Amino acid sequence: MNGLYELLNRNVSASDSGRDGFFDIQNDYYSPGFWTGYVARARARNLNLQDLAISGNILAYAKAIAIERALGQTDTFRYDRKCAGENYSPLVMLDSRELTDGAVSEINQCIRGLFNEEQYAEFTASICELVGDLLDNVWAHGKSTGFSMAQKWRGPLDGFLFEFAVADCGYGFLRELQRVGMTVTNDREAIEWCIQPGNSTKKRDVGEWEQRLPEDVMGNPMGRFGRVVESENHHMGLGLAKLVTAVEQFHGWCWLASGNAMLYISPDGQRSYINLPIPWQGVALSCRFDSNRVTGTTPLYTGDEFEDILAQLMRD
Amino acid sequence: MFNYPIKITDTDLASRQAAAKLRSLIEQQVLSGDKVSIDLGAVFSISESYADELFGVLALRYGLDWLTDHVALKNQKAFVFRAIADAIRQRLSSKSPGTPDIALLAARQALKQRQSRNF
């Protein structure tokens, strides 16, 4: 399965504009990490499906995951997407709150449906929370350039693998940190900062010159130059740190790319950094879990006085 | 008596923007003298962002006493309540970094006050 790692670790000629070797793909299998990055860059360059020159089975699959809609074209897929929300969530461009919330619900519906036994309860609850945080952050940071997707496929043994992914072509971590005045000098340091608990650029600044839209705006007529921001700056910056912890807790895989650095977490919890031959302008992330590995985790509730008192106080 | 019911029908609560909108509604209702009861029975997941923007910010802005006096929850799943409690705890802790479990102290105090009022 080709994922985000394979997308950004290829020997192809890449340029800064138009169609280049980045968009060349072979007749093979590709995961959400691959597709979200692929489409985010295509959309950023105003390429359409014909420009991408995808053919054969891959083209049929690309249409099934709604690549045309993601590229701003008419969706010509002739069938109902009956398994959307069960086995997969198609490509969704996260350019409005409504679409972002819809994508969160669809991905979480997949997770709850696929991991519906009691043994998965802790995994399901933890990951669904994180999907919400992650997509909301992409919507907030990604300047309406973000895409999401999720997919299940059969595992090598019994069971199955499930991957969800997001990719945007926004500032990326390094530029975002430098924008708010931090002295971070390279992409790897920027990733390291962003996965620390409590760290968020949103805690530090809301861009004074950011073009603002009213809260109830539908869609985003100003494209990448405008976005809706909250009236106040309340971000706590917990999403990525919690995600990394959850990936390690549930023995998953994680690939997180920004600029020319990629963080890779393996199922045994080893973290490593890779220098990317194809830098990623923005942030791209994919997380993969094996149904055989996500069970048997910590108990759901271990007793907490604060929670108990709060439950009494907030009871209707 | 919680006299202003809000029933949330979404299964997954994610965005800060949606949370900020609901928070604003709650603030308006409380200012006009109502007490708000939020029915979370349909909700399967709540992101930390949403829980923080709604409940965490209310706790930070008005205090835990105010929050628990004016806002009640019903039908919430255990996971959902845990996320809400975590968000409130994080916010209260961020107000006084270094203070040992300020959230727990605030909760104990709020409970004590509630009990003394009920006598």
Residue A231 pLDDT greater than 60, yes or no: no
Residue A285 pLDDT greater than 80, yes or no: yes
A283 vs A236: CA distance, rounded Å:
19
What local confidence, expressed as pLDDT, does residue A45 receive?
A: 95
What local confidence, expressed as pLDDT, does residue A232 receive?
A: 42
Q: CB distance A101–B82 less than 8 Å?
A: no
Which residues 6+ apart lie within 8 Å of A79 measured at CB?
A: A64
Mean pLDDT of B4-8: 96
As given in the structure block, the two tokens for residue A125 are 């609850």
- Greatest Cα pair distance, chain A, in angstroms, is 62
Q: For residue A132, give the nearest of B13, B21, B110 by CB distance.
A: B13
Kindly list the residues from chain B whose CB atom is less than 8 angstroms away from the CB atom of residue A220.
Answer: none
Kindly list the residues from chain A whose CB atom is less than 8 angstroms away from the CB atom of residue B64.
Answer: 313
Q: What is the CB neighbour count within 10 angstroms for residue A225?
A: 11
pLDDT tens, position by position, B39-79: 999 999 999 889 999 999 999 999 999 999 999 999 999 99
Mean pLDDT of A82-99: 93
End-to-end CA distance of chain B: 17
A82 vs A75: CA distance, rounded Å:
15
Q: What is the CB neighbour count within 10 angstroms for residue A286?
A: 27
Q: For residue A136, give the nearest of B11, B14, B57 by CB distance.
A: B14
What local confidence, expressed as pLDDT, does residue B30 receive?
A: 96
What local confidence, expressed as pLDDT, does residue A207 receive?
A: 38
Q: What is the pTM of this model?
A: 0.87
As given in the structure block, the two tokens for residue A116 are 């519906």
Q: What is the CB neighbour count within 10 angstroms for residue A122?
A: 21
As given in the structure block, the two tokens for residue A270 are 């080893």
Q: CB distance A101–B88 less than 8 Å?
A: no
As given in the structure block, the two tokens for residue B37 are 């009861």
What mean pLDDT, rounded, does chain B reach? 92
The answer to whether the beta carbons of residues B13 and B19 sit under 8 Å apart is: yes
Residue A129 pLDDT greater than 70, yes or no: yes
Q: What CA–CA distances, in Å, run from B30 to B27, B51, B66?
A: 5, 19, 10
The answer to whether the beta carbons of residues A93 and A70 sit under 8 Å apart is: yes
| pLDDT confidence band for A139 (50 / 70 / 90) | confident
What local confidence, expressed as pLDDT, does residue A48 receive?
A: 95
Per the DSSP assignment, residues forming a β-bridge with A255 are A264, A286
Residue A225 pLDDT greater than 60, yes or no: no
Distance between alpha carbon B62 and the CA centroid of its chain, in Å? 11
For a pLDDT cut of 90, what percent of chain B falls above it? Answer: 77
3-state secondary structure of A143: coil
The answer to which of A216-230, A266-280, B16-30, B68-82 has the lowest mean pLDDT is A216-230
Q: CB distance A132–B111 less than 8 Å?
A: no
Residue carrying the six token digits 């619900």: A105
Q: Of A36, A199, A23, which Cα lies nearest the Cα of A107?
A: A36
What local confidence, expressed as pLDDT, does residue A220 receive?
A: 44
Per the DSSP assignment, residues forming a β-bridge with A2 are A30
Strands A88-93 and A147-154: antiparallel
Residue A71 pLDDT greater than 50, yes or no: yes
Does the model's ipTM exceed the 0.85 cut? Answer: yes
- Chain A with chain B: Cβ pairs closer than 8 A: 141
| pLDDT confidence band for B1 (50 / 70 / 90) | confident
What local confidence, expressed as pLDDT, does residue B108 receive?
A: 94
Mean pLDDT of A253-278: 97
Mean pLDDT of A194-202: 76
The answer to whether the beta carbons of residues A113 and A86 sit under 8 Å apart is: yes
The Cα of A14 is separated from the nearest Cα of chain B by a number of Å equal to 35
